[in-house]
Amino acid sequence: MTLGLFFMVLFGIIDYGWILFAQMNIQQAVQDGGRYASTGDFKTDTSGKSIGRINSIEQTIQNEISIPGVDTTKLQISSVNSNGVVTNGSAGGPLDVVTLTLVTPLSLLAPLNFFGTFFPAKYAYTSSATFKNEPFNPANTN
């Protein structure tokens, strides 16, 4: 009985640490993606062809995440221009305000869902970052 209680506390501590690490890592990646988005820059593939700003932002976030199983294709990007017009799915133009939001589930590490009767097996993380775009040349973006 004592051994069972010991393992329950041990796995609880491990899962709590995992949850905190995952949240910090995902939030930092979204902030890095927002910073990249604010520059108006974009990446190219191996042939030198542009992959576009949205895909470049997703790729930047994915490269920063060290948590397995995080799906950056669920990234929501929206921008607000100086007239207050909101555009979903756009990283905006110069001096627009861009918001990135990533909602992703993460499973606990405890074996066989040890805490499943007390806690959910997956937690949904929501990380968001908002930046004002730099005054970049819109002709140089894709």
Q: How many domains is the chain partitioned into structurally?
A: 1
pLDDT in tens, 75-110: 999 999 989 999 999 999 999 999 999 999 887 776
Q: Cα–Cα distances in Å, from 64 out to 16, 56, 74?
A: 22, 13, 16
Buried b (16+ CB within 10 A) or exposed e, 10-20: ebbeebeebbe
Is pLDDT at 138 greater than 90 in this prediction? no
In angstroms, the CA 114 to CA 118 distance is: 9
Q: Which domain holds residue 121?
A: 2-140
Q: Please compute the mean of the pLDDT values over residues 7-26 and round it to a whole number.
A: 88
- A 10 A CB-CB count for 78 gives 18
Is pLDDT at 115 greater than 60 in this prediction? no
Q: Does residue 85 sit in helix, strand or coil?
A: coil
pLDDT for res 142: 62
Residue 8's pLDDT band (cuts 50, 70, 90): confident
- Distance between start and end Cα atoms, the chain: 62
pTM: 0.85
Residue 18's pLDDT band (cuts 50, 70, 90): confident
